[in-house]
Amino acid sequence: MSAPVAIVAAMHEELSALLAQMPDEQRVRAAGRDFWVGHLHGQPVVAVLSRIGKVAAAVTATVLLERFGVRAIVFTGVAGGLAPGVNVGDVVVATQLLQHDLDASPIFPKYEVPLMGLSRFAADTAIGDALAAVAEETLRDPVALLGQEAVDEFGLRSPKVHRGLLVSGDRFVSTAAESDALRRNLPDALAVEMEGAAVAQVCHDYGVPFAAMRTISDRADDAAHGDFARFVAEVASRYSLALASAWLATLPSSSGETPAAT
């Protein structure tokens, strides 16, 4: 039997739709978290709510690797758009991840993880390519996925898929001044969230493939708080389910093959 794939989200609303589709999930309690072990589209899966923030996400990733022996971790959920053209309803599939609030200078360069010589952690190329492909296909018809009402309410007429740098920090970026500063300091950053780079670092240490796909819920500016909870429940959770399911359906269901690490 092949090792499971982990599907991780930071908030309950981001994971609830996926859990509802797991026919045989069993709860395993560890490190104060509920890990749901079961199958989805013929694949062994462990789904878990990491909680919000880098430390919580790193703890979750470590338990997934040490206790459940997962062969890959995919993080899903929402992020704030930073780069021009990265709009609400779009999906960002990370190629690299960085902690935007890490600064041990002047001992180490800004953003560099001390003693590692790295500031950017690469996401797994094979998984990222597959996620981007299923996202492109899924987002061609947002009405079929979300319904006309949600598409109209959130203006999701032509959602796009972006590949590039995702930045993480222990702060909900919610002012124009903060997002402008991030764009100045990290001009290639596509979006900002609060967990991904920490999980990427843990997976790097263990040599296990990691990927992140994030639905853009806002533009990380002064309007970032508006209708956030409703967007997560009505849009992001459905995106997470559709994209994770479509990706899992592309994997061999009975062999022991694992997603390719890069």
Q: Tell me the catalytic residues.
A: 14, 218
- 8-state DSSP, 123: P
Query: Nearest CA to 79 among 209, 204, 200, 240?
Result: 240
CA dist 164 → 9, 196, 199 (Å): 20, 13, 17
- Return the amino acid letter for 93: V
Q: Tell me the C-alpha distance between 172 and 10, whole Å.
A: 13
In contact, 193 and 166? CB cutoff 8 Å = yes
How far, in Å, CA of 211 to CA of 198, rounded? 12
Residue 138 and residue 243 in contact, taking contact as beta carbons nearer than 8 Å: yes
Q: Are 142 and 159 in contact (CB under 8 A)?
A: yes
Beta strands in the chain, from DSSP E residues, in sequence order = 5-9, 26-30, 33-40, 43-49, 72-81, 91-99, 121-122, 161-168, 189-193, 210-218
